[in-house]
Each structure stands twice: as C-alpha cells, then as structure tokens.
Amino acid sequence: MQNDDTATDAASRDPRYAALPGRPGKIIAVHLNYRSRAAQRGRTPAAPSYFFKASSSVAASGATVERPTGTELLAFEGEIALIIGTAARRVGADRAWEHVAGVTAANDLGLYDLRANDKGSNVRSKSGDGFTPLGPVVLDARDLDPSRLRVRTWVNGELAQDGTTDDLLFPLAQIVADLSQHTTLEPGDVILTGTPAGSSVIVPGDVVEIEVDSPASGESTGRLVTTVVDGPDVPFDRTLGSLPQVDDMQREEAWGSREAAGLGAASALSPELRAKLERVPVAGLSQQLRKHGLDNVTIDGVAPLHPDAKLVGVASTLRFVPNREDLFHSHGGGYNAQKRAFDAVGEGEVIVIEARGETGSGTLGDILALRAHARGAAGIVTDGGVRDAAAVAAIGLPVYSAGAHPAVLGRKHVPWDTGVTIACGGTTVQPGDIIVGDGDGVIVLPPALAEVVADAALAQEDEDAWIAARVAEGEPVDGLFPMNATWRARFDAERDAR
C-alpha cells in the first residue's frame, strides 16, 4: 500500500503510526462479527454494531501495553484491520472494497474492569494508550480477496485464535458499505472487523503476536508483537469517575469461559438440589410455586417421548422466528443458531426452544438430539415439532415436544438466536432457569426460589403420603384432607417420632 519513503515519513511524525499513512481520523470497531465468537458469547446479532476507539490508542509492533494498577482483566482480540484509501459515502457493498487501500493486523485490546459504566460504548475500556496495536506491514487491498483472509493470534508462542473471513457474520465489504451510510469514511480511517473465538486474558509478561494473511496468495502482514507490562502504581481517582470493578460475568466474558476463569459451572442447580427435584413431582412444584404467586410457570402443550423419565436441568435457550425466505437465506444455512445451540449445550443443561407453538415442521431431529446427548445435556423441550421422532426417542434423552412432524426446519422457522429470554409453551424462560419435567408436563423454576420450593414440595409429599395411608385404612377425607387441628397434631407427633 505504501512505499518505504511514506513509511519513513509516518514514522518520523510519530512512531506509533509507522505502519500507517498517518494518524487515523477515526477508528471504528465491530462489536461481534465471527460466528465462532457469537457461539462463544451465546448471542448472534441480526445486524452489525460498532464503537469508536481513540486514535491515541494506536501502537506499533514491538510496543508494550500497560495493565493499569488495580485491574485484572486485560484481554487481547486479534483482528483484521481495514485502512480506507478513498472517501466513501453511501457506497454499495459491490463497490465498497474499492475504497479500502490496505489490510493489516490489529490487536483490539480491552480492559473488562472498566466496562460496567460504559455499556457498549467501550470508551474507557478500549481507548487506553497502546490499546490498538497495528501492523507491522500493510497489504495492498487490490491484491487480496476479502472473502479469503485469515487472522491468527499467539500468546507466548501458543496458538490462541485462528479465524477466517468465511466465518464472518457480516462480510468486510458489507461493513464498509454499512458504515458509509452513516458517516463519511475518510482516507486513513481504520476499521477493526471483529475477533474470532479464543480471545482471553493476558497478564504482565505475556507476549501477544497477531498475523493476518492470505493463505491463497501467501501474502502476510508479519506478526504484530505486543508485550504486556505492569502500569505505574497510580490508582484511578474515585473522585473523577467510575473505578475498575469486576464480577464473575465480566471474568467469564474476558477469559472466554467460566472454566478458563476458574469459576466452575454456572448453575444454581447443586447436586443436592438436583437430588431433591428428582424426587418431587412437577404437580407438587406447581402447587408450591402458586403459594409464591407464580401461576404462569408451566410449559403448556408439550408431551414427553419418555413419560416415565424425569427431566431436571438448567435452561439453555434457542429462539426461532417465523420463516421468511430472505431471512432463512441469511440465517438458516451453515453454522446457524440451531446448530450452535446443540454444539454448545453443557452437561446438565436443557435446551429449551421457542417455536411459537408451531407444529408444522420439526425443530430438531435425531442427529441434533444425539449431539445433545453426547455433550451430557439433561434434555430438550420444544413447543414445536420433532422430526425422526422414533429415532430421537431411541437415543434415550428426555425430550418434550408438541408432536412429531416430518418437515425440515425451513418450512416454518428461521433459527435466530441463542442465550436469550424466550417464550416456550406460553411461559417465559430465561437462561439459567431450572427446568423440571415428568409425565404431567414441564415447569420452570426461578433459581432464587428453587431450594425453598423443592423443600416445601418434599414436605408436602410426605404429608400427602401420610394422608393417603389413612384414607387406605378407611378414614374419611372430611377433616383429613386438608387436615384439621386434630389430624395435624397426630401427623406432627408421628413425624417427630420418626
């Protein structure tokens, strides 16, 4: 893209911009753009979204980046950076690449400790000095096929990220065209195009290397090298603004998973609580939830393939929207939300599917049910249909559905999103809710109430069993069911004696 004289002039102006034509007027970054990253995050955007980074955050290859004192979650993100060559305003996707002069490697560093009060703007978390290393070589965009580029990241010599542009949710030309609808892209502006799965936390002493290349042509930016160091012992001033703060959610997102962050499984369902819920019937749970004011917690219209099997697990959600041909074309093929949900389901989780009660097609078949079983899923609940119902039943996984149907997904549905609040069988289900099912149906337990409701339901089961025994002995139900004071005293005495 540039000759040696241009690079030398840029370096003489400011070494941070040595690989660039000069200081960028704008740095615009895409929030989420790789399917692998979307699967890791459990959400897939329908359209691209963006944030700005300060041009003062640019650094050259070989520079160091400071992790501020009092923080713990500095994370790397290897990305493909586009450098605008000619002004672009309201250009179409078919002509957008003509406005890109060069391609280079980028590290979209971010400090998760500072995200809490900036929401999606990332002003403080992404614009620190040295938080946007770029380089070391800019490739001429005219020589590149934007659909066949690769980005890789190494941390301390170990490969951490390996993504290609055929995994993008939004192609590079679409990103340029979309941004040009809203703002004029000017020469020298930089666009960071998203990061694949594998981003994680780095600490002082770590060395991060990022390379963008074209496997087809062999062209490469070389490795962009950044070393993490401790920042000076100068804490953030609490009188000026928000201080660093972290919680387990931020740790999970920064590290890439709860396991990598050392947090263990994210579940309110302990082994002890699971054992209790496996003993108590859904009808008993429904009775106790009603005492807490919760009547709308049953997933209606579904029946089990295995009526004698008990289902207990934590909800992992998948949402379908009504089929529209253009949307199915963009969201239904490839590694879509349905496939990602079944590939990502964790041990002890229940895949709960919103299909709007539409039974005119299948929402899963035997291959996906087998995948869920192999990953240790507790079961599947869908208010839509099941294909290959006999084969799904043979797998042995507890499955609840609104019936069998031979048609494929695309007849009625577009797989849209995962990890979001959904409506299934007339009730709201959130990721992390506890799902319990038996021959009577399926119920949703809010995690905060699960323990107390389970204990109360078990106590009620003991009481009901005692009453049933008295009825079997010939006692009339009047005064016994429910128990009056006399019967209550007798029950309490016998219970205490046990």
CA angle at 409 for the pair 408 and 410, rounded to the nearest 5°? 100
**341 in a domain, yes or no?**
yes
Q: Which of residues 202, 221, 255 is at a domain's end? A: 255
In this structure, the answer to whether residues 289 and 426 fall within a common structural domain is yes
Task: Give the Cα separation of 220 and 223 in Å (integer).
Answer: 8
Residue 1: its pLDDT value, please? 52
In this structure, the answer to whether residues 190 and 224 fall within a common structural domain is yes
Q: Which of residues 229, 255, 281 is at a domain's end? A: 255
Task: Give the Cα separation of 373 and 382 in Å (integer).
Answer: 16
> Total structural domains in the chain?
3
Measured between alpha carbons, how far is residue 399 from residues 306, 359, 368, 437 in Å? 7, 15, 12, 9
Residue 367 annotated as lining a ligand binding site: yes
Rg (CA), the chain: 28
CATH value at residue 386: 3.50.30.40
Regarding beta strands 190-192 and 27-30, do their DSSP bridges make them parallel or antiparallel, or are they unpaired? parallel
In this structure, the answer to whether residues 402 and 490 fall within a common structural domain is no
Digit-coded pLDDT (tens) for 372-424: 999 889 999 999 999 999 999 999 999 999 999 999 988 999 999 888 899 99
Residue 7: its pLDDT value, please? 45
Residue 494: its pLDDT value, please? 82
Residue 368 annotated as lining a ligand binding site: yes
CATH value at residue 152: 3.90.850.10
- Which segments in the chain show pLDDT lower than 50? 2-4, 6-8, 10-12, 266
In this structure, the answer to whether residues 402 and 438 fall within a common structural domain is yes
pTM of this structure: 0.58
Task: Give the Cα separation of 65 and 130 in Å (integer).
Answer: 5
Task: Give the Cα separation of 100 and 187 in Å (integer).
Answer: 9
Residue 403 annotated as lining a ligand binding site: no
Using a 10 angstrom Cβ sphere, with 0-12 exposed, 13-18 middle and 19 or more buried, the burial of residue 262 is: exposed
**477 in a domain, yes or no?**
yes
Q: Quick one: which of 82, 225, 203 has its CA closest to 140?
A: 82
339, 332 Cβ separation under 8 angstroms? no
In this structure, the answer to whether residues 316 and 348 fall within a common structural domain is yes
In this structure, the answer to whether residues 251 and 110 fall within a common structural domain is yes
**453 in a domain, yes or no?**
no
In this structure, the answer to whether residues 310 and 436 fall within a common structural domain is yes
In this structure, the answer to whether residues 113 and 249 fall within a common structural domain is yes
**264 in a domain, yes or no?**
no
Domain span holding position 488? 458-497
Digit-coded pLDDT (tens) for 35-75: 999 888 877 899 999 999 999 999 999 999 999 998 999 99
20, 136 Cβ separation under 8 angstroms? no
Residue 497: its pLDDT value, please? 81
Task: Give the Cα separation of 486 and 426 in Å (integer).
Answer: 42
Residue 4: its pLDDT value, please? 45
Residue 262 annotated as lining a ligand binding site: no
Residue 11: its pLDDT value, please? 43
In this structure, the answer to whether residues 38 and 165 fall within a common structural domain is yes
- In percent, how much of the chain has pLDDT > 70? 96
**262 in a domain, yes or no?**
no
Q: 34-56: string of b/e by CB count within 10 Å (b at 16+)?
A: bbbbbbbbbebeeebebbebbbe
**385 in a domain, yes or no?**
yes
In this structure, the answer to whether residues 393 and 343 fall within a common structural domain is yes
Residue 318 annotated as lining a ligand binding site: no
**171 in a domain, yes or no?**
yes
Task: Give the Cα separation of 56 and 16 in Å (integer).
Answer: 9
Residue 222: its pLDDT value, please? 97
Instruction: Give the sign of the dihedral formed by CA 96, CA 93, CA 41, CA 242.
Output: positive
In this structure, the answer to whether residues 440 and 471 fall within a common structural domain is no
Q: Quick one: which of 448, 417, 479 has its CA closest to 169?
A: 417
In this structure, the answer to whether residues 144 and 278 fall within a common structural domain is no
Listed in sequence order, the residues at least 6 apart from 70 whose beta carbon sits closer than 8 Å to its beta carbon are 113, 235, 236, 243, 244
**261 in a domain, yes or no?**
no
Residue 379 annotated as lining a ligand binding site: no
